[in-house]
Amino acid sequence: MVFINEQQLDDAATAIHDDETLNELLVTELSEIQPAVFAFLFTENTELFTEYEKEYLLFILLTLWQAIRTEVDVNEMDEIDSDELSVAEEKNWESLESITAKRFRDRLDVFFKDNKQTDLLAFVEDMLLDEEDELLTKEGREPMFVILKSIIDCFDACIKP
Protein backbone atom coordinates (compact mmCIF):
# COMPACT_ATOMS: atom_id res chain seq x y z
CA MET A 1 0.00 0.00 0.00
CA VAL A 2 1.03 3.56 -0.51
CA PHE A 3 2.58 4.98 2.65
CA ILE A 4 0.15 7.22 4.52
CA ASN A 5 1.97 9.92 6.45
CA GLU A 6 1.21 11.98 9.52
CA GLN A 7 0.23 15.10 7.55
CA GLN A 8 -2.32 13.16 5.50
CA LEU A 9 -3.82 11.80 8.72
CA ASP A 10 -3.96 15.24 10.31
CA ASP A 11 -5.61 16.64 7.17
CA ALA A 12 -8.13 13.79 7.18
CA ALA A 13 -9.04 14.32 10.84
CA THR A 14 -9.47 18.05 10.25
CA ALA A 15 -11.63 17.47 7.18
CA ILE A 16 -13.93 15.11 9.08
CA HIS A 17 -14.13 17.46 12.03
CA ASP A 18 -14.91 20.47 9.83
CA ASP A 19 -17.45 18.84 7.49
CA GLU A 20 -20.32 16.79 8.94
CA THR A 21 -21.41 15.66 5.48
CA LEU A 22 -17.98 14.10 4.89
CA ASN A 23 -18.52 11.89 7.92
CA GLU A 24 -21.78 10.55 6.46
CA LEU A 25 -20.17 10.07 3.03
CA LEU A 26 -17.28 8.10 4.54
CA VAL A 27 -19.61 5.84 6.53
CA THR A 28 -21.62 5.09 3.39
CA GLU A 29 -18.56 4.59 1.21
CA LEU A 30 -16.74 2.36 3.68
CA SER A 31 -19.83 0.23 4.32
CA GLU A 32 -20.32 -0.24 0.56
CA ILE A 33 -16.69 -0.77 -0.51
CA GLN A 34 -15.48 -2.68 2.55
CA PRO A 35 -18.61 -4.09 4.24
CA ALA A 36 -16.66 -6.66 6.26
CA VAL A 37 -14.46 -3.93 7.73
CA PHE A 38 -17.47 -1.86 8.68
CA ALA A 39 -19.20 -4.90 10.20
CA PHE A 40 -16.00 -5.88 12.06
CA LEU A 41 -16.16 -2.59 13.90
CA PHE A 42 -19.53 -3.44 15.41
CA THR A 43 -19.31 -7.15 16.18
CA GLU A 44 -18.95 -8.86 19.51
CA ASN A 45 -15.48 -7.33 19.62
CA THR A 46 -16.97 -4.01 20.62
CA GLU A 47 -19.94 -4.95 22.79
CA LEU A 48 -18.05 -4.12 25.98
CA PHE A 49 -17.10 -0.64 24.78
CA THR A 50 -18.93 2.41 26.04
CA GLU A 51 -21.00 4.37 23.53
CA TYR A 52 -18.29 7.03 23.50
CA GLU A 53 -15.62 4.41 22.76
CA LYS A 54 -17.67 3.03 19.87
CA GLU A 55 -18.09 6.51 18.40
CA TYR A 56 -14.40 7.29 18.90
CA LEU A 57 -13.41 3.99 17.28
CA LEU A 58 -15.55 4.89 14.27
CA PHE A 59 -14.01 8.37 14.09
CA ILE A 60 -10.49 6.91 14.07
CA LEU A 61 -11.42 4.37 11.38
CA LEU A 62 -13.04 7.06 9.23
CA THR A 63 -9.93 9.20 9.60
CA LEU A 64 -7.76 6.30 8.43
CA TRP A 65 -10.15 5.68 5.53
CA GLN A 66 -10.18 9.37 4.53
CA ALA A 67 -6.37 9.51 4.54
CA ILE A 68 -6.17 6.34 2.45
CA ARG A 69 -8.78 7.48 -0.05
CA THR A 70 -6.86 10.69 -0.72
CA GLU A 71 -3.91 8.59 -1.89
CA VAL A 72 -5.48 5.58 -3.61
CA ASP A 73 -8.58 4.78 -5.60
CA VAL A 74 -10.53 2.84 -2.96
CA ASN A 75 -12.79 1.43 -5.66
CA GLU A 76 -9.76 -0.46 -6.99
CA MET A 77 -9.01 -2.08 -3.62
CA ASP A 78 -9.56 -5.77 -3.13
CA GLU A 79 -12.48 -6.38 -0.82
CA ILE A 80 -11.44 -7.56 2.62
CA ASP A 81 -13.41 -10.49 3.99
CA SER A 82 -14.23 -11.33 7.59
CA ASP A 83 -11.82 -14.29 7.63
CA GLU A 84 -8.89 -12.02 6.77
CA LEU A 85 -9.86 -9.67 9.58
CA SER A 86 -10.18 -12.55 12.04
CA VAL A 87 -6.77 -13.93 11.11
CA ALA A 88 -5.15 -10.50 11.46
CA GLU A 89 -6.88 -9.92 14.80
CA GLU A 90 -5.79 -13.29 16.17
CA LYS A 91 -2.20 -12.64 15.11
CA ASN A 92 -2.25 -9.21 16.75
CA TRP A 93 -3.67 -10.57 20.00
CA GLU A 94 -0.97 -13.26 20.03
CA SER A 95 1.70 -10.59 19.60
CA LEU A 96 0.23 -8.50 22.39
CA GLU A 97 -0.09 -11.44 24.78
CA SER A 98 3.63 -12.12 24.51
CA ILE A 99 4.46 -8.64 25.88
CA THR A 100 5.25 -8.30 29.57
CA ALA A 101 5.41 -4.50 29.70
CA LYS A 102 2.70 -2.84 31.79
CA ARG A 103 2.40 0.61 30.18
CA PHE A 104 0.09 0.81 27.17
CA ARG A 105 2.61 2.63 24.96
CA ASP A 106 5.37 0.13 25.81
CA ARG A 107 3.06 -2.80 25.04
CA LEU A 108 2.54 -1.50 21.50
CA ASP A 109 6.23 -1.30 20.55
CA VAL A 110 6.10 -4.80 19.07
CA PHE A 111 3.65 -3.64 16.39
CA PHE A 112 5.97 -1.00 14.97
CA LYS A 113 8.81 -3.39 14.19
CA ASP A 114 8.82 -4.30 10.49
CA ASN A 115 5.54 -2.49 9.84
CA LYS A 116 5.21 -0.47 6.63
CA GLN A 117 2.47 1.81 7.97
CA THR A 118 4.14 3.24 11.05
CA ASP A 119 2.41 6.61 10.75
CA LEU A 120 -1.02 4.94 10.70
CA LEU A 121 -0.11 2.95 13.80
CA ALA A 122 1.37 5.99 15.54
CA PHE A 123 -1.79 7.95 14.76
CA VAL A 124 -3.96 5.24 16.31
CA GLU A 125 -1.67 4.99 19.33
CA ASP A 126 -1.71 8.76 19.83
CA MET A 127 -5.48 8.97 19.44
CA LEU A 128 -5.95 6.29 22.09
CA LEU A 129 -3.44 7.86 24.48
CA ASP A 130 -4.12 11.55 23.97
CA GLU A 131 -7.89 11.47 24.23
CA GLU A 132 -8.36 14.65 26.28
CA ASP A 133 -11.39 13.96 28.45
CA GLU A 134 -10.14 10.52 29.42
CA LEU A 135 -13.44 8.99 28.37
CA LEU A 136 -11.67 5.91 27.08
CA THR A 137 -11.49 3.13 29.61
CA LYS A 138 -8.18 1.47 30.37
CA GLU A 139 -9.83 -1.83 29.40
CA GLY A 140 -10.97 -0.42 26.07
CA ARG A 141 -7.66 0.91 24.76
CA GLU A 142 -5.93 -2.38 23.91
CA PRO A 143 -8.94 -3.96 22.18
CA MET A 144 -9.46 -0.74 20.21
CA PHE A 145 -5.83 -0.76 19.14
CA VAL A 146 -5.98 -4.43 18.11
CA ILE A 147 -9.15 -3.87 16.08
CA LEU A 148 -7.68 -0.86 14.27
CA LYS A 149 -4.28 -2.53 13.78
CA SER A 150 -6.03 -5.56 12.26
CA ILE A 151 -7.94 -3.31 9.86
CA ILE A 152 -4.73 -1.47 8.92
CA ASP A 153 -3.01 -4.81 8.23
CA CYS A 154 -5.85 -5.82 5.93
CA PHE A 155 -5.95 -2.44 4.18
CA ASP A 156 -2.21 -2.69 3.62
CA ALA A 157 -2.60 -6.15 2.07
CA CYS A 158 -5.53 -5.31 -0.21
CA ILE A 159 -4.42 -2.06 -1.81
CA LYS A 160 -2.79 -2.59 -5.15
CA PRO A 161 0.48 -0.67 -5.50
> Per-domain residue ranges for the chain?
6-158
Closest by CA position to 98, among listed 83, 82, 110, 113: 110
- Do residues 62 and 27 touch, judged by C-beta distance below 8 A? yes
Average pLDDT, the chain: 90
Q: How confident is the model at residue 160 (pLDDT cuts 50, 70, 90)?
A: low
- Residues 1 and 116: beta-carbon distance below 8 Å: yes
pLDDT in tens, 138-149: 888 999 999 999
User: What is the pLDDT confidence band of residue 10, given thresholds at 50, 70 and 90?
Assistant: very high
- % helix, strand, coil for the chain, step of 5: 70, 0, 30
Interval 56-67: pLDDT, tens = 999 999 999 999
Element (H, E) at 124: helix 118-129
Phi, psi of 100 (to 5 degrees): -100, -10
Does 44 score more than 70 pLDDT?
A: no
The closest of 133, 160, 136, 161 to 148, measured between CA atoms, is 136
Question: In this predicted structure, what is the pLDDT of residue 41?
Answer: 86
